[in-house]
Amino acid sequence: MNYDLNQLSKTAPKTSTWAGLKKLIQLISHERRTLLFALFAILTNSTLNLLGPLIIGRTIDKYVQHKDFNGVIHNAILLLCMYIVALFTSYKQTTLMGGVGQRMLFTLRNSIFNKLQQLPVGFFNQNKAGDLISRVNNDTDKLNQFFSQSLMQFIGNISTMIGAGIFLLLIKVELGAAALSPALIILFLTIILSPWIKRKNAANLKSTGGLSGEIQESLNNFKVIIAFNRRDYFRKRFDTVNKENYQTAIGAGLANNVFVPVYGLFASIAQLIVLSFGIYLISVGQFSIGLLVSYLSYATNFYNPLRQLAALWTNFQLAMAGWDRIAQILQLESDLPLIEQGITDTNAGLLEFRHVHFSYDDSKEILHNVCFKLEQGKTYALVGPTGGGKTTTASLIARLYDASKGLVLLDGKDIRTYTAEERSLKIGFILQEPFLFSGTVKDNILYGNDLYKNHTNEQLEKVITDANLGSLLAIFENGLDTPVLSSGDSISLGQKQLIAFMRAVLRNPQILILDEATANIDTITEKLLSDILNKLPETTTRVIIAHRLNTIENADEIFFVNSGEVIRAGSLNDAMDLLLQGKRVS
């Protein structure tokens, strides 16, 4: 299945601006009460700002020209009160919407993170962690900025503009029409250029994701980079993505600001039209000085928000581009689908592969028509050349991936009918590169194991000893309290494998898969592990992937895995012959 977000974005249907806006609003629809308060505050603010010029014009015509100072002072106090209330409403809507934005950011980050927890392994194979981090951190913040700063300003500006436009037309329709005509050109330009602005912003967000992907990859592999003296190589790679990010940022910046001077120019043209036409009307006795002052204010009230709308529109386009990248993750199907009813076959043994085909990314088939059966309590070995398909086969046993064709049966039932929890209780998988979390050996052993989570150290030590794992725990200086630093770098790879081994065995799975689980362990400890494996409950089925054939001496059956085919190898000697025949990956 294709989970590559960058490729999926190319084939995804384009969303219209209106559909995008509706989706964005849905994100905060549960905040209705707060939104209504904020809307009320911003509309009150706009109304008060619109009434100002009218009162000023009337004051000039009625009181200033007749030298009625009482009237002037009365209206000045009225205006002052209105401006104070306007200030309060503006402050209120800012704090209300700031809260909405932060809550939305909190919920959205939680939703994406939860979604990421549910997605299958294939998703993480095909996407860079750095890009995903950028989506969780950076793209969500673009939405926060839109909601906390832009949305209400957007509504406020639009309502001020509509109000100012109505006043302009009501006071003198022909002067109003002349004053508003430059706005039509701006509207036309905005409609034409919006998709281009959104594209530029989307490219910038994508390259920011790529930049974090590159940083993450080089930080993860810093030891190899230093050991192989590949610093220059990574520096060059970083330079390339950084340059791309710089160029897309310049492109987005240009697109975002292209309107600002245009808006300024058209606002000035409108002022000129009002002044010249207005003075002409005064000269022919059809207009008053007070009305012209009001008129100029209304023209400013119309064009200033229009100028701000350019910046707000940019924030909106940026939020839409961020939302597209976030929605891509949220829309993905969670985990591998659970099917209600699958084939049931009581003769299938504990696990059976029936004509299984598999490919990681739909391009190249890795497993071809694989058929085998595992019985309860037996030990199986998968051997074969590097890249032959052993880990892939084991991953399908644990349903880290689904077969592209064919069927995997667990306990006689289609493996897809088990929930992830049921499956993980039945199957223990010790990966080639075990992953450990920051904490202690105990934290890591108990990861995902609810049975012993409330045990004290003494109780847990007893459980470990009873499971014949005491000798492994003894290898750690401070036993269960031995600290493990982030991603396990404070301990050796062999020790990591021992912790992963204890973690898997303590869950008492029906099938225990060991993928090169002893590759980094000394011979004596390897012997310890082999004894522990032999002492596992009789019902446990073991699947051992190993390059060193001495580790699979006791296997009941050996499978030879090569070029995506799994064949019975017969005895250990036969397996050795197959390997020596030089069968390599085709």
Residues that bind ligand ATP (CB under 6 A): 125, 360, 366, 384, 386-392, 561
DSSP, collapsed to helix, strand or coil, labels residue 431 as coil
Query: For residues 478, 484, 490 and 495, what is the CA-based torsion angle, rounded to 10 degrees?
Result: 70
Q: Which is nearer to ligand ATP, 324 or 565 (CB)?
A: 565
CB of 9 to ligand ATP, least distance (A): 20
CB of 562 to ligand ATP, least distance (A): 8
CB of 360 to ligand ATP, least distance (A): 4
In order of 112, 194, 249, 257, 443, the CA distances from 254 in angstroms are 31, 13, 8, 5, 51
Q: Which is nearer to ligand ATP, 61 or 557 (CB)?
A: 557
Q: Which is nearer to ligand ATP, 387 or 479 (CB)?
A: 387
**Residue whose C-alpha is closest to residue 496's, from 524, 531, 525, 533:** 525
CB of 233 to ligand ATP, least distance (A): 22
Q: Which is nearer to ligand ATP, 97 or 517 (CB)?
A: 517
Q: Which is nearer to ligand ATP, 352 or 516 (CB)?
A: 516
Whether the Cβ atoms of residue 151 and residue 108 lie closer than 8 Å to each other: no
Residues 6+ apart with CB under 8 A from 285: none
CB of 553 to ligand ATP, least distance (A): 19
CB of 524 to ligand ATP, least distance (A): 24
Q: Which is nearer to ligand ATP, 6 or 137 (CB)?
A: 6
Residues 6+ apart with CB under 8 A from 76: 59
Q: Characterize 190-227 residue by residue with b for buried, 16 or more Cβ atoms within 10 angstroms of its Cβ, and e for exposed.
A: beebbeebbebbbbbbbbbbbbbbbbbbbeeeeeebee
Q: Which is nearer to ligand ATP, 176 or 385 (CB)?
A: 385
CB of 264 to ligand ATP, least distance (A): 53
How many angstroms separate the CA atoms of 407 and 502, rounded?
31
CB of 392 to ligand ATP, least distance (A): 3
Tokens linked to 374: 């595992």
DSSP, collapsed to helix, strand or coil, labels residue 303 as helix
Residues 6+ apart with CB under 8 A from 288: 57, 61, 282
Q: Which is nearer to ligand ATP, 156 or 385 (CB)?
A: 385
Q: Which is nearer to ligand ATP, 387 or 406 (CB)?
A: 387
Residues 6+ apart with CB under 8 A from 419: 338
Q: How many CA atoms lie within 13 A of 90 on its CB side?
A: 15
Q: Give me the residues paired with residue 512 across strands.
A: 428, 542
CB of 390 to ligand ATP, least distance (A): 4
